[in-house]
Amino acid sequence: MRPWSLLSSLAIISSAFAVPAPSSSASAPAATPTVPYASDDPNYPLWTEESVGVHPEPIRGQLGTTILGPKNIPIEMQNSDVLAPPTTDNGDVANFKWAFSLSHNRLQNGGWARQQNIKHMPVATDISGVNMRLESGAIREMHWHTDGEWAYVLAGDLRVSCVTPEGQVYVSDVTAGDLWFFPPGYPHSIQAKNSTDGAEFLLVFDNGAFSEDSTFLLTDWLAHVPKEVLAKNFQIDISAFDHIPSRELYIFPSAPPPEDPYTEMAVPNDTPLAYTFPMSKVNATPTPGGSYKVVDSRTFPAATTICSAEVTVEVGGMRELHWHPTEPEWTFFITGSARITVYAASSNAQTFDFQAGDVAYIPASYGHYVENTGNSTLKFLEVFRSGLFQDISLNQWLALTPPDLVKAHLGFDDATIARLSKVKQEVVGPAQPVV
């Protein structure tokens, strides 16, 4: 007997009571449609990583059969929609999932760092990410990049600083849920403040080929300049450089900074823009199925090349069907479980499952949704290589299109047309019961 999870059992029951497409009404399509009606076959996830007593197999209804060879059951439990995909999947879509758990971790005295770029997920050409951890007081050494650095604090408290090309100074503290952004070439530093657990954060770069191992580091540079040149440059005695490191420090332990950032500033902050943003203090916009916060250059002017939305989806809800007109979406899952189906045009569509710590990359204009498939709140970040956040809601598009045109395409009746929302829902709640 084939094992079925509760979800698959519910799927069978729901399909038995599914309402067939209308065949005749004032607003229904002709009795003989131009093409066959879409199937009513249920396509719920057949199991999740939380399912008990499930033996995952590539079987959906009458399709597929068992695996006779070796199996990686923990991976298959997390990826039911890859092993037993919904029947709506079709064609070939480039892999758009990466788990930071699979990234090589660079362990340092004081913390660690792991990254995702096009080497891990070739479709992710425009954006890459780094997950970094610092113990209390530990420093991510003074450095700069050729790409813009956007950051989201996952846990803990940090002090960041930077200097502009004009010699202006910015020093500030950030906490869980806050952001920072440093433009390309701006030298900066990151240090965990005094706490038991230190801090962890997410770095996002506006270049899919970015590598954290190719950072311009203060200690690495000075270790590769003759000491007599250093002495001449700084106009100080050469003996001052007797104790500079022989190679890069990258991450290293140190005493936590003083509690008040003003006590250690070389000069008071004098940049025209703030390079941090207190997203943790922004009130989320409530929706029928959760909430969201959007931060882009309209509220965080320094972040000219990266913007974001922090989204929560309650149990049974989903980020509505939508797409982003010109920019790809780099998504990081903070809590919960989700599934995403992307529509890539030309009848190509594929579904993946995601857990906390995973990354999704959805190319520009690909239609998609993000559904909460777990039993707890789903929280994730949508990040874009753009100064402005933009999306197009499928629901709103249909609601704002002449009704007869929508009826001609989809066979909706007047009651269905009336229920379409002229305002973006962003996050919709659980499915409405069939009446």
409 is in an annotated binding site: no
259 is in an annotated binding site: no
143 is in an annotated binding site: yes
As a whole number of angstroms, the distance between CA 2 and CA 153 comes to: 44
Amino acid 418 reads: A
Residues 364 and 404: beta-carbon distance below 8 Å: no
As a whole number of angstroms, the distance between CA 291 and CA 310 comes to: 8
120 is in an annotated binding site: no
145 is in an annotated binding site: yes
324 is in an annotated binding site: yes
243 is in an annotated binding site: no
Catalytic machinery residues: 382
186 alpha-carbon distance from chain centroid? 25
Record the tokens describing residue 336, joined without a space.
Answer: 């919960």
As a whole number of angstroms, the distance between CA 388 and CA 281 comes to: 20
As a whole number of angstroms, the distance between CA 409 and CA 400 comes to: 14
Residue 366: C-alpha distances to residues 41, 128, 390, 412 (Å):
24, 19, 13, 24
Residue 232: C-alpha distances to residues 221, 243, 419 (Å):
16, 17, 74
Beta strand residue intervals within 6-109, DSSP E: 59-60, 63-64, 97-99, 105-108
Tell whether the torsion through CA atoms of 371, 376, 382 and 388 is positive or negative.
Answer: positive
Residues in CB range of 276: below 8 A, 6 or more apart = 160, 170, 172, 173, 174, 178, 179, 180
As a whole number of angstroms, the distance between CA 198 and CA 186 comes to: 25
Q: How far apart are the first and last CA of the chain?
A: 34
55 is in an annotated binding site: no
Q: In 3D, which of 92, 184, 193, 86 has the Cα closest to residue 143?
A: 184
Beta strand residue intervals within 324-377, DSSP E: 329-335, 337-343, 349-355, 358-362, 367-372
| Binding site listing for Mn(2+) | 143, 145, 149, 188, 322, 324, 329, 368
Binding residues: 143, 145, 149, 188, 322, 324, 329, 368
